[in-house]
């Protein structure tokens, strides 16, 4: 089954709404609690990245079957210039406003990698970013 | 350590979760960086923070944090209270600093996460 959610850019009051809904769905499906936690942490980091960086917002699509959860987060924001550098703990391009919200510590992508069985990040400057998080049930 | 003992030790005000004061807490963690909170892998965690925002509550939901203590005398907003109620979070306000709250609970035997 597939679920799609819109993510609004810059609206920190709503950041996490999509991830929360996915968490609720996974609970209803009786997915193992450890898999729910790692999946929601990974997709929450991805959702916050869209809110923090992507002008125009993005979409979060969760595709769930008996074997795996695949969450795709796509935005048309500024893109990532150097993905390996962005994967380094502590590297951040977040604004002061984002940092004041408690984010921007340069842990977003590393946290996604830590909590995903498989993580794909494709991006280009001016071309937006696509993150695909796969966790096996 | 139970929520009721923690509240007494810190002279805190329970904003949400008053009916769950017997909930046991195993570990304490203090942070204002939410991504650091998202790295925690243990259960039964209490978070002490000075970050009084809606995202503090949302992050606690994602990280399966049982209780959040808002330090430095900051007041929880109605939107934070509403989200905490909906997500089942125990939310407590205290007047003291993050440092003092952490010290009191550590001294009373609450284990650090690491």
Do A102 and B32 lie within an 8 Å CB cutoff? Answer: yes
Q: What is the CATH number of the domain that holds B34?
A: 3.40.1390.20
Do B61 and A16 lie within an 8 Å CB cutoff? Answer: yes
Integer Cα distance of B101 and A127 in angstroms: 46
Over the Cα atoms of chain B, what is R_g?
12
Give the nearest partner residue to A12 out of B38, B55, B87, using CB atoms: B55
- Return the pLDDT at B8: 98
Distances (CA, A) of B61 to A37, B28, B34, B54, B55: 10, 16, 12, 11, 10
Integer Cα distance of A3 and A5 in angstroms: 7
pLDDT at A107 over 90: no
For B10-66, what is each residue's pLDDT tens digit? 999 999 999 999 999 999 999 999 989 999 999 999 999 999 999 999 999 999 999
- pLDDT band for position A74 (cuts 50, 70, 90): very high
* Domain A2-136 in CATH 3.30.565.10: yes
For a pLDDT cut of 90, what percent of chain A falls above it? 74
pTM metric for this prediction: 0.92
Do A12 and B54 lie within an 8 Å CB cutoff? Answer: yes
- Return the pLDDT at A10: 85
Domain with B23, as residue range(s), is: 3-112
Provide mean pLDDT across the span A24-35: 96
3-state secondary structure of A134: strand
Residues of B in contact with A16 (CB under 8 A): 55, 58-59, 61-62
Q: What average pLDDT does the structure give for chain A?
A: 93
Q: Which residues contact A66 (CB under 8 A, 6 or more apart)?
A: A137
pLDDT at A55 over 90: no
Which of A51-60, A65-74, A96-105 has the least mean pLDDT? A96-105
Provide mean pLDDT across the span A59-70: 97
Better-scored residue on pLDDT, B93 or A10:
B93
pLDDT at B4 over 90: yes
Give how many domains chain B has, as a whole number.
1
């Amino acid at each position: 089954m597939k679920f799609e959610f819109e993510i609004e850019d810059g609206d920190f009051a709503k950041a996490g709404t999509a991830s929360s809904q996915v968490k609720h769905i996974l609970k209803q499906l009786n997915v193992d609690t450890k898999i729910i936690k790692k999946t929601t942490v990974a997709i929450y980091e991805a959702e916050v990245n869209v809110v923090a960086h992507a002008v125009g917002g993005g979409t979060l699509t969760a595709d769930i079957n008996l074997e795996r959860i695949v969450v795709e987060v796509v935005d048309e924001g500024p893109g990532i210039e150097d993905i390996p550098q962005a994967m380094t703990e502590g590297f951040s391009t977040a604004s002061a406003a984002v940092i004041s919200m408690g984010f921007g510590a340069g842990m977003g992508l590393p946290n996604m990698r830590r909590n995903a069985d498989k993580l794909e990040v494709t991006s280009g400057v001016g071309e937006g970013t696509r993150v695909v998080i796969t966790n096996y049930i | 350590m139970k929520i009721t003992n923690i509240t007494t030790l810190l002279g805190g005000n329970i904003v949400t979760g008053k009916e769950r004061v017997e909930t046991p807490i195993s570990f304490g963690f203090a942070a204002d960086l939410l991504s650091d909170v998202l790295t925690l892998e243990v259960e039964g965690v209490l978070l002490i923070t000075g970050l009084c925002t809606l995202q503090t509550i949302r992050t606690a939901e994602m990280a399966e944090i049982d209780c959040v203590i808002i330090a430095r005398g900051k007041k929880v907003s109605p939107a934070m209270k509403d989200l905490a109620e909906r997500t089942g979070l125990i939310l407590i306000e205290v007047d003291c600093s993050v440092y003092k709250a952490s010290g009191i609970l550590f001294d009373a035997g609450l284990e650090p996460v690491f």
